Structure 1
Amino acid sequence: MPSARVTTTAHRRAPEPHTHRHAAATACKEETGPLNPALLRTFVEVYRTGSFGKAAQRLRISQPAVTQQIRMLEERVGVPLFVRHATGSRPTPAAESLARDAEGAVDALDFVLQRYFGTDGPARPLRLGAPSDLIGERILPALADMLGDGLQLRTTLALSDVLLPQLAAGELDVIVVRVRPRLTGVTALPLYDEECSLVASPELARTLRPELVAGGAPEVLAERPLVAYAESAPLIDHYWWSVFHRPAPSAPDVVVPDHRAVLAALRASIGIAVVPTYLCADDFARGTLVPLLAPEIPPITTMYLATREGDAVSRPQVAAAQSRLLACGRGWN
């Protein structure tokens, strides 16, 4: 007869006190998870500079972000690390102790990043993003002298909704966009005002009824396909509100994310579009495209030059590119 297996739990010996402490520590570790090294990096900068604001500039993030990270670290260690006062921040004894152990580790990590990725090295290429027509027609000519002096440049050709998150994430250094950025940690300056025109080929323009268009009735325009550089058709919508005081008649029929491709579609009489006037100057002169209307006050869109907070102070390449583009922008329209 096989012997019965017996398991006894009622009289199991209680764990030693140190086992309780180990279990509690393990539970705490599992609850909090690994520490984000960025918190220590921010802590060291605040400790060294004696200021949340100066640390934010050196780290190229916003001051509220520094405050939040220090608060997260204080919650993790369970004690205050800094005492804020009128002229800066004073470390507590706990911060002094933590800094002695953390500074070396943070500096070592910075060295590794600099050695393998060149995160802040002067030779790192400037990463610039803008719509493709702006890169080719305006930005590269404006930066020509800097490029001749050795500036290395890497460009990203994309629309505003793609460029803004990349700038905020640190993947780009400078962007030029057709919408006002409203992101924490991003600084935006007006670059120039871009005039827009409602454009079509001469062949398509002849099929429209000028008396209705000239009389302020845009219904006839709704009968023609709309070509846009973005699904949201921001220039078309802006033009309709500015000139006709109503929303655009419909979603675009053709979307190509490059204004030069939009112009190619217009030359082929595919439809009508609202495009930056400066891009049409040669076509107007040759007669390959014509403006459909001549508003007394042409609609304009403000272009913005955006960088991350602090970059224009701490990175000479960003500051120089920003200054050059702003200077050139004063002559653009």
Structure 2
Amino acid sequence: MDLALLRTFVTVHRAGSFTRAAALLGLSQPAVTSQLTEITEAGLDRDSVTRTLHFAGPPEFLAERALPALTPLIAQGLSIRTAFGPAEELLSGLAAGHHDLTVTTTRPRGGLLTATPLCDEEHVLIAAPHWAAELGGTAVLQAGGARVLDTVPLVEVHESLPLIARYWSAVFDAKPAACAAVIAADLRAVLSCVTAGAGLAVLPRYLCADALDNGQVVALLDPPVPPLRTYFLAVRTGTLGLPHIARAHEWLLRTAVDW
């Protein structure tokens, strides 16, 4: 192995992040990630022993985006084991060594975990077309605000209404007036309920884009600044020195540019 590449590998391992390693080496961050990618590609291809990545995150995001993105690494000798759950639970599992890589919407604090922004998701207020017709259209909703929606049942992933409450605060500067009519712990189930006409929901655009395109649901509003939520890619500090973790981490960051 080239000694310069080996030095980069060791520095990333000790520093715990590409940014700190780049500063120590006097290189740009893209140069460091490029060198580490060269190392990990060679390591995965050369090593006949299967390397297992313990990967955790929201079930919908992993199923629709992250896991398909990692598929090319399977041919290079990577195997993947997944875990799903709430953000705090998964971050605790990551800190305890149960996971290697975690996608989360909560930025971890402290020095034990290192998080890198992965992508932003736009949230969309959706309902079946008949609800939009009953409400009188977007113009009525824009004029009347959140109170116009009080008659429409709410569909959410949790009793605390995390997505709806965030949207109401950002767009209407208000709190939801009602409890959820349906609680489904998977956003894909929320979308199915909304498509069937159960009520309205707030969902990430990537998850409901097809349903919007084919007319199964409609966006009730198009705010000038749509609410966004950031996904982070978290690891235990120092573990990016392990080739299979570093490779998956870099691969996801590259792929997420197009998300």
TM-score, normalised to structure 2, is 0.76
Q: Are the counterparts in 1 of residues 56 and 82 from structure 2 also a CA contact under 8 Å?
A: yes
Whichever residue aligns with residue 74 of structure 2, its letter is L
Q: Are the counterparts in 2 of residues 231 and 252 from structure 1 also a CA contact under 8 Å?
A: yes
Equivalent residues in 2 for 1:82-231, closer than 5 Å: 123-210=50-137, 211-231=139-159
Aligned residue in 1 for 2:25: none
Where has structure 1 moved over 4 Å in runs of 4 or more? none
1:63-117 superposed Cα distances (whole Å, 9 cap, x missing partner): xxxxxxxxxxxxxxxxxxxxxxxxxxxxxxxxxxxxxxxxxxxxxxxxxxxxxxx
DSSP 3-state at the match of 1:220 = helix
Aligned residue in 2 for 1:84: none
How far apart are residue 236 of structure 1 and its match? Answer: 1.4
Q: Is the aligned partner of 1:330 residue 2:252?
A: no
Q: Are the counterparts in 2 of residues 209 and 220 from structure 1 also a CA contact under 8 Å?
A: no
Q: Are the counterparts in 2 of residues 212 and 218 from structure 1 also a CA contact under 8 Å?
A: no
Rounded to whole Å, the distance in 2 between the matches of 1:218 and 1:153 is: 43
Aligned residue in 1 for 2:172: 244
Q: Are the counterparts in 1 of residues 123 and 202 from structure 2 also a CA contact under 8 Å?
A: yes
1:204-259 superposed Cα distances (whole Å, 9 cap, x missing partner): 22222435412152112122221112333322122111111223334433221211
How far apart are residue 193 of structure 1 and its match? Answer: 0.8
Aligned residue in 1 for 2:161: 233
Whichever residue aligns with residue 137 of structure 1, its letter is E
Rounded to whole Å, the distance in 2 between the matches of 1:229 and 1:178 is: 15
Whichever residue aligns with residue 168 of structure 1, its letter is A
Percent identity among equivalent residues? Answer: 40
Rounded to whole Å, the distance in 2 between the matches of 1:222 and 1:165 is: 38
Aligned residue in 1 for 2:19: none
- Flag the structure with larger Rg: 1
Aligned residue in 1 for 2:186: 258
TM-score, normalised to structure 1, is 0.60
How far apart are residue 123 of structure 1 and its match? Answer: 4.1
Q: Are the counterparts in 2 of residues 227 and 262 from structure 1 also a CA contact under 8 Å?
A: yes
1:12-59 superposed Cα distances (whole Å, 9 cap, x missing partner): xxxxxxxxxxxxxxxxxxxxxxxxxxxxxxxxxxxxxxxxxx9xx67x
Q: Are the counterparts in 2 of residues 159 and 257 from structure 1 also a CA contact under 8 Å?
A: no
Task: Point out where structure 1 has 5 or more consecutive residues left out of the alignment.
Answer: 1-53, 61-121
Q: Are the counterparts in 2 of residues 168 and 183 from structure 1 also a CA contact under 8 Å?
A: no
